[in-house]
Amino acid sequence: MRLIYKHLHRVLPRRWEKILDDPRRYERNWSFSELISVVSDAFISGCKNLRELEVLTEASGRRVPDTTLWDLLVQIDPEPLEEEIAKQVKDANRKHELDNKELPIRLTIIDGKGIGTTKYKVDEHSINRSQKGCTKYVQHVLRAFHASSSLKVLMGQQRVPVGTNEKGIFPIFLEKLVKHYGKTKLLEVLSFDAGFLSMKNAKAIVEQDLFYIMALKDPRVHTVTRMAMKLFEGRAKPDKVEKERVNGKEITRKLFRAPAPKANGWSHATQVWLIQKEVLHSSGKISSHSRYFVTNLPRQRLSHAQVLKAIRLHWSIENNANWVLDVAWKEDSRPWCNEAIELLSLMRMIAYNVVARFKVRRLRRATVNNWTWAQTLAFIKAAIFPPRLLQTATTL
């Protein structure tokens, strides 16, 4: 318990009134900082909704009604929390927690994620996905994720508004990331899936003196994809072959590298990669697919093995952050308060980073360093809240 208290005191904000503006005209039974601290404690404890939080505070001896929190949360401007997330990440970097053990580059993954689905329009960013008489609004964001160290943390978020998409809103998100991390070495190489592919996005990255790794798609639309595919026609010998066994499956990856074609608008590109993946299932069935990538990284920056690792690390945002947030925190299905969905998504990101730093950097003993996220959150909850009523609260 002392371990978690020490960690939380070291990394978790407590003077919330200096970060967020109190929208209330006057205080009643609770100070603003006390209420936000309660919400923060609930997030790092893995609470699923405001009702569970109310039960836990009652177990602590001073019940905070969920309606009181709801009325407060819907009035708070969430923007200052973006700066707080950046402070978290830079603090971890100053304390040498963001090592370079995974890759010799700083790799940032950019990906989209839903932060909740509602039956009504929450704000101007609510995207209508209604069909066949079923009303549904999706709240969608872009997120940045530091993936190239043993500690993987979320770096920032950008709402995707109505009328555009991930590819269209990325330049605005890039400006925000450069504002927060431009004076550090944390922002170096940005990795994207094929949904972000555009000359405009690549140019925006190059203008910031950064590097990109972009997946290619649809040769019918993108000239660079057609030219990349043509480069590897008839080439049989790969630059690197890698094999591994995962969950009873034998996976073979073959890497092919070539100088980038000088397609219109892509003069800054230096390399094209082809990765052929073949999976031998326990049933004997074989499945395979090929993926192409373009990058402006100098060839010598990554070895063949490191190229394969960089591509695998792209999916760490799904396997680590997105999966954990949806399974451990129920982000996509229990947004807590629809009208404050952006505020709460940012607080959930802060909680994720706090718990990730605790899980990776503090739980070093062999008996606990392999704890699951659920076990880690249960340990933190037991440290923050008394054991009485915990079982009742978790059944809500």
Residue type, 55: V
Angle (deg, nearest 10), helices 166-181 and 80-94:
60
Let me know the angle formed at the C-alpha of 374 by 151 and 117, rounded to the nearest 5 degrees: 90
Nearest to 146 by CA among 98, 113, 182: 98
Return the number of other C-beta atoms located less than 10 Å from residue 86's C-beta: 19
Q: What's the pLDDT at 194?
A: 93
Nearest to 148 by CA among 318, 324, 316: 316
pLDDT band at 336 (very low <50, low <70, confident <90, very high): confident
Q: What average pLDDT does range 340-360 have in this prediction? A: 92
H helical segments located in the chain: 2-11, 32-44, 50-60, 66-73, 80-94, 166-181, 199-207, 223-231, 304-314, 316, 323-327, 341-361, 373-384, 390-394
- 149-162 tens-digit pLDDT: 989 999 999 999 99
Radius of gyration of the chain (CA): 23
Q: Residue 384 pLDDT more than 50?
A: yes
Task: Give the CATH class of 80-323.
Answer: alpha beta
State the greatest distance between any 2 C-alpha atoms of the chain, in Å, as a whole number: 75
pLDDT band at 330 (very low <50, low <70, confident <90, very high): confident
| Contacts by residues 298-303 (CB-CB < 8 Å, ≥ 24 positions apart) | 298/270, 299/257, 299/270, 299/271, 301/104, 301/105, 302/103, 302/104, 302/105
Question: What six digits make up the tokens of 343?
Answer: 């505020």
Q: What's the pLDDT at 49?
A: 87
- 162-184 tens-digit pLDDT: 989 999 999 999 999 999 999 99
**What DSSP state is assigned to residue 390?**
H
How far is the C-alpha of 270 from the C-alpha of 295, rounded, in Å?
6
pLDDT band at 69 (very low <50, low <70, confident <90, very high): very high
Find residue 278's DSSP bridge partners: 252, 288
Question: What six digits make up the tokens of 112?
Answer: 């989209």
Q: In the chain, where are the structural domains located?
A: 2-77+363-394, 80-323
Question: What six digits make up the tokens of 247?
Answer: 């969950």
- 202-255 tens-digit pLDDT: 999 999 999 999 999 888 788 889 988 999 998 889 999 999 998 889 999 999
How far is the C-alpha of 185 from the C-alpha of 240, rounded, in Å?
29
Mean residue pLDDT across the chain = 89
How far is the C-alpha of 26 from the C-alpha of 116, rounded, in Å?
32
How far is the C-alpha of 95 from the C-alpha of 182, rounded, in Å?
19
Q: What average pLDDT does range 343-354 have in this prediction? A: 94
- 102-123 tens-digit pLDDT: 899 999 999 999 998 888 888 8
pLDDT band at 394 (very low <50, low <70, confident <90, very high): very low
Look at 122-131, 188-197, 343-352 and tell me which has the smallest mean pLDDT: 122-131
pLDDT band at 368 (very low <50, low <70, confident <90, very high): low
How far is the C-alpha of 7 from the C-alpha of 382, rounded, in Å?
15
Phi (first) and psi of residue 289, to 5 degrees: -160, 160
Q: What's the pLDDT at 364?
A: 60
How far is the C-alpha of 74 from the C-alpha of 96, rounded, in Å?
37
Angle (deg, nearest 10), helices 373-384 and 32-44:
140
Q: Residue 310 pLDDT more than 90?
A: yes
Percent of the chain with pLDDT over 90: 56
pLDDT band at 391 (very low <50, low <70, confident <90, very high): very low
Is this structure's pTM higher than 0.85? yes
Q: Residue 361 pLDDT more than 80?
A: no
